[in-house]
Amino acid sequence: MRKYCLLHLALLCPVLYAAAPVNSPPPFEIYAGYSWLSNSFNSVTGSPQPLNGIFAGLAFPEWHHLRIRLDYSMYRGTNLGDPQNSFFIMSGGQYGRTFHRERFYLEALAGEGSVNGTWFGTANSGYKNGNTGTIASFAEFLGGGFDTPLSSHTAFRIEGGMQHSNFDPITPDTAGSVPYHLAGIPDYFGRISAGIVWIPRLGSPIQPSSEHAPRRPVESEFIAESLNSFGHIHLFSDAWYSYLNVGGVEYDRHSWGRVLGADVDYSAEFLPIIILRQPSKTDIWGDRLSHSYETIPGIGILPIGTRLMWFSHARVKPYYVIKAGMTGYTKKAFSQYATYQNFALDQSVGFQFRLNNRFDFRTAFGFLHQSNGFVVPSNPGLDEMNWNIGLSYHLGRPKPVV
**Where is mean pLDDT largest: 118-127, 205-214, 311-320?**
311-320
Comparing 238 with 203, the larger pLDDT belongs to 238
Query: Are residues 173 and 1 in contact, defined by beta-carbon separation less than 8 angstroms?
Result: no
Amino acid in the structure at residue 240: W
pTM: predicted TM-score of the whole model, two decimal places: 0.68
Looking at residue 22, its pLDDT comes to 38
From CA 30, how far away is CA 228, in angstroms rounded? 37
**Is pLDDT above 80 for 10?**
no
Looking at residue 161, its pLDDT comes to 96
Phi, psi for 52 (deg, rounded to 5): -105, 150
Phi, psi for 13 (deg, rounded to 5): -65, -30
Looking at residue 23, its pLDDT comes to 38
SS3 sequence, 310-341?
A: ECCCCCEEEEEEEEEEEEEECCCCCCCCCCCE
With H, G, I as helix, E, B as strand and everything else as coil, classify residue 32: strand
Report, as an integer, the average pLDDT of 365-387.
Answer: 86
Looking at residue 122, its pLDDT comes to 87
Looking at residue 152, its pLDDT comes to 82
**Sequence spans of domains, the chain:** 2-198, 220-394
3-state helix, strand, coil in the chain (%, to 5): 5, 55, 40
Comparing 70 with 401, the larger pLDDT belongs to 70
From CA 159, how far away is CA 137, in angstroms rounded? 23
Mean pLDDT of the chain: 83
pLDDT band for 174, please (50, 70, 90 cuts): low
Amino acid in the structure at residue 302: L
Query: Are residues 55 and 71 in contact, defined by beta-carbon separation less than 8 angstroms?
Result: yes
**Cα of 377 vs its chain's centroid, Å:** 21
From CA 330, how far away is CA 297, in angstroms rounded? 6
Which CATH code fits 2-198? 2.40.160.20
Comparing 376 with 329, the larger pLDDT belongs to 329
Dihedral angle over CA of 220, 224, 230, 233, nearest 10? 40
Looking at residue 124, its pLDDT comes to 80
The radius of gyration computed from the CA coordinates of the chain, to the nearest angstrom, equals: 23
Please report the beta strands in 186-292, taking only residues with DSSP state E, as ranges in sequence order. 188-198, 220-232, 243-259, 262-279
List the one residue out of 268, 346, 319, 367 whose CA is nearest residue 68: 268
Looking at residue 201, its pLDDT comes to 65
Q: Exposed, middle or buried, 207 (CB in 10 Å: 0-12/13-18/19+)?
A: exposed
% of the chain exceeding 70 in pLDDT: 86
Looking at residue 11, its pLDDT comes to 40
Q: What is the β-pairing status of strands 359-371 and 136-149? A: unpaired
From CA 148, how far away is CA 153, in angstroms rounded? 11
Looking at residue 48, its pLDDT comes to 82
From CA 256, how far away is CA 110, in angstroms rounded? 22
Query: Are residues 345 and 9 in contact, defined by beta-carbon separation less than 8 angstroms?
Result: no
Looking at residue 363, its pLDDT comes to 95
For residue 288, the number of C-alpha atoms closer than 13 Å in the C-beta half-sphere is: 12
Report, as an integer, the average pLDDT of 74-103.
Answer: 91
Amino acid in the structure at residue 229: S
Domain pair 2-198 / 220-394, same fold: yes
With H, G, I as helix, E, B as strand and everything else as coil, classify residue 15: helix
In this predicted model, what pLDDT tens digit does every residue of 299-337 receive, in sequence order? 999 998 889 999 988 899 999 999 989 999 999 999 888
Query: Are residues 61 and 266 in contact, defined by beta-carbon separation less than 8 angstroms?
Result: no
pLDDT band for 209, please (50, 70, 90 cuts): very low
Looking at residue 399, its pLDDT comes to 57
Q: Give me the numbers of helices (H) and strands (E) for the chain, helices first please.
A: 1, 16
CATH of 220-394, one of 2.40.50.140, 3.40.50.620, 2.60.40.10, 2.40.160.20: 2.40.160.20
Q: What is the β-pairing status of strands 243-259 and 262-279? A: antiparallel
Query: Are residues 61 and 26 in contact, defined by beta-carbon separation less than 8 angstroms?
Result: yes
List the one residue out of 327, 307, 345, 302 whose CA is nearest residue 5: 345
Report, as an integer, the average pLDDT of 262-278.
Answer: 92
In this predicted model, what pLDDT tens digit does every residue of 54-87 receive, in sequence order? 999 988 877 788 888 889 999 999 998 899 999 9
With H, G, I as helix, E, B as strand and everything else as coil, classify residue 81: coil
With H, G, I as helix, E, B as strand and everything else as coil, classify residue 3: helix
